[in-house]
Structure formats: structure tokens, C-alpha cells
């Protein structure tokens, strides 16, 4: 990408202007607002602006290996789409916003809020945000892991990892290697359609996911032959631990809304920290972030070896009659389909780099 031909206000200059507007006329350290606090609020504002406007855009290229079906953008472009925000970063911001002393490693809490409660609220809202937006998709394939397979004796029931909180796409791979997308349905719909739906095994066409414990994916009809699943899922994030620093695991520009959701829970809980008016505002900011994540466009253009490729949704790609068994073919990529804000499907998978 060509270098910018203009300069603008630096972050340090912007923070100095903010300090003056906050009546902090003396040099750092300030009296009412610490320089670190102003710095964190500046980063928060920039990330929020970026998430809501999608203004910051750039281009980048990467060599694809032959046969690439799905790519994870944070892995492919770590400097462009990688996750860098740690839980301790959000905890520090939360402490400032809750008028608590910022001390991530040595602060256990106060009468109003404790480090444990703040951490739990962040983890709960982070996982809720992942479920509400599907912004981070994980591929699990094959299930079960090779050399195992789902056999007819399993009656179409497949246990999935407890880390999976939602399934966004499921496909069935037969023993001869052909992969067919499955349509989502429900147990209620299966029983309502036919009382004997599970007594006539064949090639699975649909699946039902109960989202309960233990988590079971039900194939319908149950498979008559050996096969395996290819899943795109929303997974729960890592267990947070501000003392050591754990990646939040959502796109950096969306992390402010995880923080707002956690603050909404903390301020809406019974106890001396309850502040219902501020909790309502924080919840509205969280919901704004959910809508922003759902409408974010992660790509404006894509080319393969200089040749433009078309954009599509993954559902449209799976249902295109001319793209049947697209995962099992190779050739010149024609379509790029998005899943969440991190996963791309390449159709056809490249025959060569």
C-alpha cells in the first residue's frame, strides 16, 4: 500500500489536548486524571470509532498453499487481523471507570467490586458476545478425529466438545471423501415431519444441535455408512486471568463492547455497587457493539494471482448447484465466502499457489 502523503495529530498530541480540555494544565502526572487513564480512554475511543465506521482500511497479500479450503484471517494476517488485547487491559479500564485504583496484580477489590467479580463479568460477557455476534469462528474437522469415524451403530448421534457453544455450519464427509453441507433443523421439526425419521438410515442431509449438556449433534437421517463431520463453530474463549494476562479473543476493535457489557452486569448486581442508570447505558453500548459486529465488512476486494474473485455468503456457496462438492475440488479460486469476522472459505481451493 502506498505511503500516506500527509501527517496528522499524533496520539501524544491528542492526549495533551484532552488533558487541557479536562482542566489538567500541569505537566504529567496530572491531578484529576492520570496520564495513563487518558491514554487508555484514547485507545478505547479509537477502537470504538473504528468498529462503528470501518474507516481504517489497508491491503495485504499472502501465499496460499494448494488445497486450502478455509483460512483464519488472524493466523494468515497476524499484524492486520490478529488479536492483541489482554484481559488485564480491560480490567485496568474497568477500574478507572468504576473509580477504583488501577492495580491489576495487587488489587483484590473493594466493598463495591472485587477483582474476581470483574474478571467473571468480563469472561461471561466475552462468551455472550461471541455467541451474539459469531465474530470468531473455529473450524473442527474431522470429528471424530482420524482414524476414528461415525459409524451406523452411533444412530447419527455425535458428541461435540463442551467448548462449542454454537454451530454455524456442519458438513458430512463420506468415507470416499465427498463433503456435503448439512441444513440446520431441530428435534421438534424432525419429530413433527416424521415419526420414523430415525429408523431409516441413509446419507445425512440435516442436523440438530441441542446446545444442552452433554452437547450432542444429531444427524438426520442417521448415517448408514462411515463418515465424519466438518464443523464451523462458535467456541467459548479462554479462561481469563488478569494476573498473567490472557488474550480476550475477539477482534481488537470490538473489545470495548465486551467491557461495556461487563460493566452493565457489575452495575446491575445487587449490592453497594448497584447503579441502575449507568447499567442501562452500559447495556446500550454493548448492544451497539453487537449490531456493529454483525454488520462489519471485513473485505472490500479480493484477488487471486491478480484475478478478481467474487464474494458470497457461505450459505449461498453451499447451496449453489454449480458448486456441489466444492470442498473436494481444486482449481482457480472463483469465490471467497466469509464466516464470522475471521474465517474465509476459498472456492475452488487452489490447485497450486
pLDDT for 59 equals: 85
Query: Which residues touch 199 (CB under 8 Å, ≥6 apart)?
Result: none
Please tell me the distance from the alpha carbon of residue 169 to that of residue 104, in angstroms, as a whole number.
39
> 83: exposed, middle or buried (C-beta count within 10 Å: 0-12, 13-18, 19+)?
middle
Up-side HSE of residue 42: CA atoms within 13 Å toward CB? Answer: 18
57: nearest Cα among 247, 253, 248, 249: 253
Residue 153 lies in a domain: yes
* Helix residue ranges per DSSP H, 151-254: 187-193
Residue 31 lies in a domain: no
DSSP reduced 3-state for 179: strand
Query: Which residues touch 280 (CB under 8 Å, ≥6 apart)?
Result: 264
Please tell me the distance from the alpha carbon of residue 284 to that of residue 126, in angstroms, as a whole number.
16
pLDDT for 26 equals: 67
Please tell me the distance from the alpha carbon of residue 296 to that of residue 288, in angstroms, as a whole number.
12
Residue 55 lies in a domain: no
Do 122 and 259 contact (CB within 8 A), yes or no?
Answer: yes
Q: pLDDT truncated to tens, each residue of the chain (353 aa)? A: 556 666 788 888 888 888 888 888 766 667 788 888 899 999 999 999 999 998 888 888 888 899 999 999 999 999 889 999 999 999 999 999 998 888 766 677 778 898 889 999 999 999 999 999 999 999 999 999 888 899 999 999 999 998 999 999 999 999 888 999 999 999 889 888 888 888 889 999 999 997 676 789 999 999 999 999 999 999 999 999 998 999 999 999 999 999 999 999 999 998 888 999 999 999 999 999 999 999 998 888 888 988 999 988 999 999 988 888 999 989 999 999 999 999 999 999 998 76
pLDDT for 5 equals: 63
pLDDT for 54 equals: 87
pLDDT for 233 equals: 97
88: nearest Cα among 76, 105, 75: 105
For 257, the enclosing helix (H) or strand (E) is helix 255-268
Phi-psi region of 147 (alpha: psi -120 to 50; beta: other; left: phi over 0): alpha
Residues in the chain: 353
Q: Tell me the whole-structure pTM to 2 decimals.
A: 0.91
Phi-psi region of 122 (alpha: psi -120 to 50; beta: other; left: phi over 0): alpha
Do 315 and 289 contact (CB within 8 A), yes or no?
Answer: no
How many domains would you assign to the chain?
A: 1
For 235, the enclosing helix (H) or strand (E) is strand 227-235
> Could you list the residue range(s) of the whole structural domain that residue 168 is in?
140-230
Query: What DSSP string runs through 154-197?
Result: GTTEEE--TTEEEEEEEEEEETTS-EEEEEEE-HHHHHHH-TTT
pLDDT for 27 equals: 67
Per DSSP, 306 falls in state: T
Strands 303-304 and 307-308: antiparallel
Can the peptide bond before residue 221 be classed as cis, meaning omega within 30 degrees of 0? yes
DSSP reduced 3-state for 294: helix
Residue 2 lies in a domain: no
Up-side HSE of residue 328: CA atoms within 13 Å toward CB? Answer: 14
pLDDT for 3 equals: 61
pLDDT for 211 equals: 67
Residue 130 lies in a domain: no
Query: What b-and-e string marks burial along 332-345, b requiring 16 or more CB atoms within 10 Å of the CB?
Result: ebbbbbbbbbbbbb
Please tell me the distance from the alpha carbon of residue 248 to that of residue 265, in angstroms, as a whole number.
18
Residue 196 lies in a domain: yes
Please tell me the distance from the alpha carbon of residue 182 to that of residue 208, in angstroms, as a whole number.
10
DSSP reduced 3-state for 174: strand
Residue 68 lies in a domain: no
Residue 42 lies in a domain: no
Please tell me the distance from the alpha carbon of residue 156 to that of residue 197, in angstroms, as a whole number.
11
Do 282 and 260 contact (CB within 8 A), yes or no?
Answer: yes
Amino acid at each position: 500500500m502506498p505511503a500516506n502523503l500527509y501527517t496528522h495529530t499524533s496520539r501524544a498530541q491528542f492526549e495533551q489536548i484532552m488533558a487541557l480540555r479536562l482542566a489538567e494544565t500541569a505537566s504529567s502526572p496530572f491531578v484529576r486524571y492520570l496520564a495513563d487513564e487518558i491514554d487508555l480512554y484514547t485507545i478505547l475511543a479509537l477502537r470504538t470509532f473504528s468498529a462503528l465506521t470501518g474507516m481504517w482500511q489497508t491491503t495485504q497479500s499472502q501465499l496460499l498453499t494448494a488445497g486450502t479450503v478455509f483460512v483464519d484471517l488472524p493466523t494468515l494476517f497476524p499484524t492486520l487481523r490478529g488479536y492483541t488485547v489482554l484481559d488485564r487491559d480491560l480490567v485496568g479500564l474497568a477500574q478507572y471507570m468504576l473509580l477504583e485504583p488501577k492495580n491489576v496484580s495487587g488489587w483484590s477489590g473493594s466493598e463495591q467490586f472485587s477483582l474476581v467479580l470483574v474478571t467473571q463479568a468480563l469472561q461471561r460477557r466475552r462468551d455472550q458476545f461471541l455467541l451474539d455476534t459469531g465474530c470468531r469462528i473455529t473450524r473442527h474437522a474431522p470429528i471424530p478425529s482420524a482414524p476414528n469415524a461415525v459409524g451406523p451403530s452411533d444412530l447419527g448421534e455425535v458428541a461435540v466438545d463442551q467448548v462449542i457453544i454454537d454451530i454455524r455450519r456442519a458438513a458430512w464427509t463420506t468415507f470416499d471423501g465427498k463433503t456435503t453441507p448439512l441444513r440446520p433443523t431441530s428435534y421438534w421439526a424432525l419429530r413433527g415431519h416424521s415419526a420414523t425419521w430415525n429408523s431409516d438410515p441413509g446419507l445425512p442431509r440435516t442436523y440438530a444441535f441441542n446446545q444442552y449438556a452433554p452437547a450432542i449433534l444429531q444427524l438426520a437421517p442417521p448415517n448408514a455408512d462411515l463418515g465424519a463431520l466438518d464443523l464451523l463453530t462458535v467456541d467459548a474463549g479462554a479462561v481469563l486471568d488478569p494476573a498473567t494476562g490472557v488474550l480476550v479473543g475477539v477482534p481488537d476493535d470490538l473489545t470495548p463492547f465486551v467491557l461495556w457489557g461487563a460493566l452493565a452486569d457489575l452495575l446491575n448486581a445487587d449490592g453497594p455497587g448497584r447503579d441502575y442508570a449507568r447499567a442501562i447505558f452500559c447495556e446500550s453500548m454493548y448492544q451497539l457493539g453487537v449490531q456493529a459486529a454483525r454488520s462489519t465488512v471485513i473485505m472490500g476486494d479480493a484477488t487471486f494471482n491478480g484475478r478478481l474473485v467474487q464474494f458470497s455468503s457461505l450459505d449461498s456457496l453451499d447451496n449453489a448447484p454449480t458448486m456441489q462438492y466444492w470442498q473436494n475440488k481444486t482449481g482457480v479460486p472463483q469465490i471467497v465466502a466469509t464466516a464470522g469476522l475471521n474465517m474465509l472459505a476459498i472456492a475452488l481451493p487452489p490447485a497450486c499457489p
